[in-house]
Amino acid sequence: MGKMPIKYMLVKEDIEGRISNGEYRSGQRIPSERTLCTQFNMSRMTVRQAINELVKEGKLYREKGRGTFVSSPHFLQRNVKSFTDTLRERGFTPCTQILEFSTVFNLKEISKLMDVPYETKFYKLKRLRLGNDLPMALETVYIEKEKCPDLDQYDVKESLYEVLEKQYHYKVENISCDMDACIANTFMMNTFHMQKKGALLKVTGITYIEGNEKLFFEESYYRPDLYKYHVDIYRRV
> Which tens digit of pLDDT belongs to each residue from 109-138?
999 999 999 999 999 999 999 888 888 899
Number of neighbouring beta carbons within 10 Å of residue 51: 20
Closest CA to 82 of 149, 168, 211, 175: 175
3-state SS track over 26-81? CCCECCCHHHHHHHHCCCHHHHHHHHHHHHHCCCEEEECCCEEEECCCCEEECCCC
Q: Going by C-beta distance under 8 Å and a sequence separation of 6 or more, which residues neighbour residue 211? A: none
Question: Domains in the chain, start-ordered, CATH in brackets?
Answer: 7-70 (1.10.10.10), 75-229 (3.40.1410.10)
pTM recorded for the entire structure: 0.65
pLDDT higher for 142 or 87?
A: 142
* Residue 134, phi then psi, degrees to nearest 5: -100, 120
Taking only the tens place, the pLDDT of each residue in 28-84 is 899 999 999 999 999 999 999 999 999 887 788 888 888 998 876 655 454 455 677
The answer to whether 224 touches 199, Cβ cutoff 8 Å, is yes
Taking only the tens place, the pLDDT of each residue in 225-236 is 777 666 666 555
Residue 157: DSSP 8-state: S
Taking each helix axis from N to C end, the angle separating 7-20 and 44-56, rounded to the nearest 10 degrees, works out to 50
From CA 14, how far away is CA 101, in angstroms rounded?
A: 47
